[in-house]
Amino acid sequence: MSLNIGFISTRFSGTDGVSLESAKWAEVLWDDRHISFWYSGRSDRQAEISYVAPEAYFSHPENLWINEQVWRCNARSLLVSTRIREMADYLKSTLYDFTRRFSIDVLIPQNVLAIPMHIPLGIAVTEFISETQMPAIAHHHDFYWERTRFSVSAVKDYLEMAFPPTLPNIYHAVINRPAGEQVSLRKGLAPLLIPNVFDFDNPPPKPDDYAQDVRQEIGLSEEDIFILQPTRIVARKGIEHAIKLIGLLGDPRYKLVISHEAGDEGLEYKHMLEDLAAEENVDIRFFSGRVGEVRQLDPQGRKIYTLWDLYPHADFVTYPSIYEGFGNALLEAIYFRIPILINRYSIFISDIEPKGFKLAVMDGIVTSSVVKEVRRLIEDKKYRESVVKHNYEVARSFYSYSVLRRSLRILLTGLTGLKSAIPSNNNK
């Protein structure tokens, strides 16, 4: 039976984890003839299958004002409560409109019922699902209790109510095992573990002519070793470890290229990395000005590349993160058959490491053995090929679309039975 699926988020645009994973879910659902529609505050999905409510975007001025009033304090005023309530009621009305317009059968809220970046939207989605009894799969990427900035608040009642809610018609999915354990302990729920995935059954396309000049545009010579740090410049990415690694490798051919920008958490961290690179005599290239969500030309007429244009040209990937909800960059590097340095962040230890990947692994510090392994992975072509081939096959077993397809079929089978017991006019 074909279903109309309604995805909900503050944003479906760009290369953030929620946008990327939701697109993968929609692709897999389409293989089973389910049609996806999109509700968000900002969207790059096709207009004819999208419903954009600007107030649902987490950076909408009203939501930013609300966030300023409710975090890092213990009490809120009547005015704040009133404005949260009014915005939630308005957003709920747009959800009714969205589901009527596209005859939605099942909702998939994407992270809006997990991390409270938009409290009114979380309330609106929770109340809409409660009022209509519409079946839903709440896909949770990260939770408020995992972020220190949400530890002190004046909205504990709303957090308990909606992040996530405990309603019988909502099935819950988490991307890592520790998150599932915490949801069970805190909410008494039994979420299904669905890790992030890639289409490992279909290898990436070979580089086309557009991206053939990537190395040249970065400023690399044919002899240089292209080491890619495919992340934003924020402290939890541990980029200082990548600089330390290259400093210890002690070869001027090794160039560190960072693909994304700074700014989300200020520029101090970037300045620290620049100072450290100078001290370690490491050549670091910040290439974010030439990397975008889509291929295009910048105002100077220069090519803008996507991250996937960079991967095929990289010789090695560094991913020394201190914390990750899962780790998409790890799967991306494996997908493009590139060896990788990984830091043993907690989710890697619990969920990924036991799968048996062959990686250069550091445990908080870059040791001489780590440097030796990285050098071998880069310079020993036969060893490198055996490692990336092994990693691809392991990822194909545990993180392919077929794994996602089985999980979604389990959830939708249960929800289809649930939907049959719901009066058809509940969402009208």
For residue range 50-74, what is the model confidence (pLDDT) as tens digits? 999 999 999 999 999 999 999 999 9
> Cα(144)–Cα(91) distance, rounded to whole angstroms?
21
What percent helix, strand, coil does the chain show, rounded to 5?
50, 15, 35
Summarize pLDDT for 96-132 with one digit per residue, the tens: 999 999 999 999 999 999 999 999 999 999 999 999 9
CATH code given to domain 209-398: 3.40.50.2000
Distance from the first to the final alpha carbon of the chain = 22
Beta strands in 238-326 (DSSP E): 254-258, 283-286, 296-297, 303-304, 316-319
Of 243, 260, 381, 245, whose CA–CA distance to 310 is shortest? Answer: 260
Please tell me whether residue 362 adopts helix, strand or coil conformation.
strand
Structural contact between residues 316 and 338, judged by C-beta atoms closer than 8 angstroms: yes
d(CA 344, CA 323): 9
DSSP secondary structure letter of residue 354? G
Six-digit token string for 415: 């929800």
Q: Which CATH superfamily is domain 4-197+401-420 in?
A: Glycogen Phosphorylase B; (3.40.50.2000)
Query: Across the chain, what does the average pLDDT equal?
Result: 94
For residue 420, is pLDDT > 50? Answer: no
Residue type, position 229, single letter: Q
Q: What pLDDT is attached to residue 419?
A: 56
pLDDT of residue 428: 42
What are the domain boundaries of the chain? 4-197+401-420, 209-398
* Whole-number pLDDT of residue 411: 94
Q: In what order do the strands lie in the sheet with 170-174?
A: 50-52, 35-40, 4-8, 106-109, 136-140, 170-174, 192-193
* Separation of alpha carbons 375 and 379, rounded Å: 6
Cα 57 to Cα 46: distance, rounded to the nearest angstrom? 17
Half-sphere exposure in the Cβ direction for 136 (13 Å, CA):
32
Same CATH fold, 209-398 and 4-197+401-420?
Answer: yes
CB 232 within 8 A of CB 264: yes
Work out the pLDDT band at 427, boundaries 50, 70, 90.
Answer: very low
Axis crossing angle, helix 61-70 with helix 78-101, rounded to the nearest 10: 140
pLDDT of the residue at 425: 46
Q: CA–CA separation, 110 vs 341, rounded Å?
A: 30
pLDDT tens readout for residues 237-276:
999 999 999 999 999 999 999 999 886 567 899 999 999 9
